[in-house]
Structure 1
Amino acid sequence: MNSFVSATAIKGHAPPGTSESDEIVRLVDVRRRFGTNPALDGISLTARRGEIVGIIGRSGAGKSTLIRCLNGLERADNGEIYIEGCNIASLSENELQPLRRRIGMIFQHFNLLSAKTVEDNVALPLKIAGVAKAGRLMRARELLELVGLADKAKAYPSVLSGGQKQRVGIARALAARPALLLSDEATSALDPETTRSILALLKEINRKLGLTILLITHEMEVVRSIADRVAVIDKGRIVEEGPVWQIFANPQTEITASLFSTIRPQLPEHIAERLSQIQGVEAILRVDLAGPAAQGALFAELSAALPHSFRLVHGGIDHIHNQPFARFFIAVPTRDATLAAQVTDFLTARSARVEVLGYDN
């Protein structure tokens, strides 16, 4: 059997009401326990053709177990895992082999064979699948061109930089023309500049090939940069899911807000340390805005409606997928007992989320 056998040729049962041509991944109530520890506790998730889905969570949340269940290295205790409409939970180890060729894998530490050249590393999955040498080397050279390493075909991994090694890893993951690409912390061992170049490459591959990508990561900047949707895992459960810009702008759970806090403006530490819950000279308010409200002249309107009602302390406007969102910290004088409430009412009436963080003297 050659490496280009489609998973749809494998006998299996697609979930009712879904399209095999559109839905690449479907997880239904997936559970996996290790002893008394529920690593996955009822995970349900879909990824459609051409989507980039980020899966984020703290260490121990269940991300690694999830990816091992997706590529068949772990067997779920309960639930269904569909890859291109085929439930892999019902397959034997032999039946899993051709389906695994439909899943490419990018690793954190590259996992290249040091004794093989770059082109031989890329061609290795095709060699294992029984593709003739001429065919697999042609495919390897095509992929090295795609990832910008055509001139490194005869080099060995030892002479490559970390970013170049990861590009080889990406080329190898694409060798068998997968429908799904799994990225397991693929940029966490790289410096920021190299990370940006790898993310740009993954986005280009997604665009050119229409490839579905699942990003397992703890790096919020990775999700923000290229993911279309994000799922947040905590204690083996998905606690929040949706378009990245919406989740980023308006997190609904404490764990999500905590994860994204690393890349959202925070109140400067020297001010935060002074805050008290006892009323002081100024109330410090955090104001979150998304969509049209983030682009409007909101504070100019506030100043016109309530002169001298606030001063801007910190914050800014950003964009994800061309959608604006903003976070500002403002100080409102407390000499008028009703002023903070008036400012809050004015802002919330215009779709802002407002929270009083404390008081500053």
Structure 2
Amino acid sequence: MTSHHSFVGQPADAESGRDAVVRLSGVHRHFGQTPAIDGVSLTVRKGEILGLIGRSGAGKSTLIRCLNGLERPDRGSIQIEGREITGLSEEELQPVRRRIGMIFQHFNLLSAKTVEENVALPLKIEGWTKEKRLARAAELLDLVGLSGKAKSYPKALSGGQKQRVGIARALAAKPALLLSDEATSALDPETTAAILDLLKDINAKLGLTILLITHEMEVIRTIADRVAVIDAGRIIEEGSVWSVFANPHTETTRSMLAGIRTKLPPHVAARLEGEPKGETILGVDLSGPNAGYLLAGLSGELSGGFRLIHGGIDHIQQQSVARFFIGVPPLAEGPARAIAYLERHGAKVEVLGHVPGHD
């Protein structure tokens, strides 16, 4: 199955230009001699959830600060809803910033204000009447499942509840774009799952565009439509989540996926040898509708059969993404026949080594 990745330097598809909420083109930002952002071009389309993933120091935070005008790029173009922002004054940036909601890792709530006051704060700054502010806050607290907490103070809330308040506050002024900056990093796995479900629900109900900055592949896998991988200030890989997970093209992406991709069991990996004797151990990656049928067909291809060691089929964005490890005995050119069959059917096959005899 063909991959749908795109890379820096390739033209963006025509669709991406039409409904872009964010468009960055050739953005550079240096601190001294160090390039924090090194020629980034990226489009976030209306209504999508784009995951931007990278390790610490990859350039994610600088990119966010450039998007909301807190950092000025040295060169390049940044457009928000079609408006170029790089040359705007602080005063001119204000209406642009109102179109961008932000949620943070550490919530950034005001401890001396109630939940409803925290949510209504952006509207107070905008000059809404108290009655309208509180009505909007009530509506948003209902949306995030915290109707009963309007009069509570942040100290009485759990981490997950605080983040829900942060989300409600970010949505107060009806932004076109929601920036989520490591918003689930401080939360436990169960709470993270609930917050990601909420964001997905808001995206569906409101058609809200979300740019999700994270270093966690599991977050991307759960919620994003597309993923862009940033490393040393450059976008090194970009595509639909399922295609990048099924067939990562760069070592950085493979390394970041290592924690959640199926691995060869350690007791088998420990016995791998380079000498071509005994079973040949193959790693097999395949995505698309063939994934569930491939191994059944392989049985008919090999007179000596094969052994399924580990693996299975995952489903990402309703696409089947399979990763298997199989052992092929050295009978009748078994390994070569197996590889030829698998590759003919669109699988990516890697010879991991050989194990003498069976486990």
Is residue 180 of structure 1 aligned with residue 180 of structure 2?
A: no
C-alpha contact (below 8 Å) 1:27/1:80 kept by paired residues? yes
Is residue 160 of structure 1 aligned with residue 161 of structure 2?
A: no
Q: Distance in 2 between matches of 1:133 and 1:322?
A: 45
TM superposition shift of 1:334: 2.9
Instruction: Give the match for residue 7 of structure 2.
Output: none
- List runs of 5+ in structure 2 lacking aligned partners: 1-13
SS at 2:258's partner residue? helix
Q: Distance in 1 between matches of 2:146 and 2:295?
A: 50
C-alpha contact (below 8 Å) 1:281/1:335 kept by paired residues? no
Q: Distance in 2 between matches of 1:290 and 1:71?
A: 37
Provide, for residues 274-306 of structure 1, a one-character-per-residue CA deviation record: whole Å limited to 9, x for no partner: 21222232111000010012122x212211121
Q: Distance in 2 between matches of 1:182 and 1:78?
A: 22
Instruction: Give the match for residue 31 of structure 2.
Output: 34
Q: 2:121 aligns with which of 121, 124, 144?
A: 124
Q: Distance in 1 between matches of 2:331 and 2:19?
A: 60
Instruction: Give the match for residue 306 of structure 1.
Output: 302
Q: Distance in 1 between matches of 2:302 and 2:355?
A: 21
Q: 2:266 aligns with which of 252, 264, 269?
A: 269
Q: Distance in 2 between matches of 1:332 and 1:321?
A: 32
Percent identical = 68
Provide, for residues 88-145 of structure 1, a one-character-per-residue CA deviation record: whole Å limited to 9, x for no partner: 1010011101110100000001011111100000011111222221111111111001
Instruction: Give the match for residue 335 of structure 2.
Output: 340
Superposition pairs of residues 35-114 of structure 1, within 5 angstroms: 35-114=32-111
- List runs of 5+ in structure 1 lacking aligned partners: 1-16
C-alpha contact (below 8 Å) 2:287/2:322 kept by paired residues? yes
Instruction: Give the match for residue 5 of structure 2.
Output: none
Report the CA distance shift for 1:69/1:159 in structure 2 as closer, same or farther (over 3 A): same
Instruction: Give the match for residue 23 of structure 1.
Output: 20
Superposition pairs of residues 155-234 of structure 1, within 5 angstroms: 155-234=152-231
TM superposition shift of 1:21: 7.5
Report the CA distance shift for 1:57/1:21 in structure 2 as closer, same or farther (over 3 A): same
Instruction: Give the match for residue 350 of structure 2.
Output: 355
SS at 1:168's partner residue? helix
What amino acid is the match of 2:42?
L
SS at 2:271's partner residue? coil
Q: Distance in 1 between matches of 2:40 and 2:290?
A: 34
Q: Distance in 1 between matches of 2:267 and 2:55?
A: 27
C-alpha contact (below 8 Å) 2:16/2:43 kept by paired residues? no
C-alpha contact (below 8 Å) 1:286/1:356 kept by paired residues? yes
C-alpha contact (below 8 Å) 2:301/2:338 kept by paired residues? no
What amino acid is the match of 1:350?
H
What amino acid is the match of 1:219?
E
CA RMSD of superposed structures (Å) = 1.5
Q: Distance in 1 between matches of 2:268 and 2:15?
A: 52
TM norm structure 1: 0.92
Provide, for residues 215-237 of structure 1, a one-character-per-residue CA deviation record: whole Å limited to 9, x for no partner: 00011111111111100111111
Instruction: Give the match for residue 236 of structure 1.
Output: 233
Is residue 280 of structure 1 aligned with residue 277 of structure 2?
A: yes
Provide, for residues 52-106 of structure 1, a one-character-per-residue CA deviation record: whole Å limited to 9, x for no partner: 0000111111111111111111111110110001111010011101110100000
Is residue 143 of structure 1 aligned with residue 143 of structure 2?
A: no
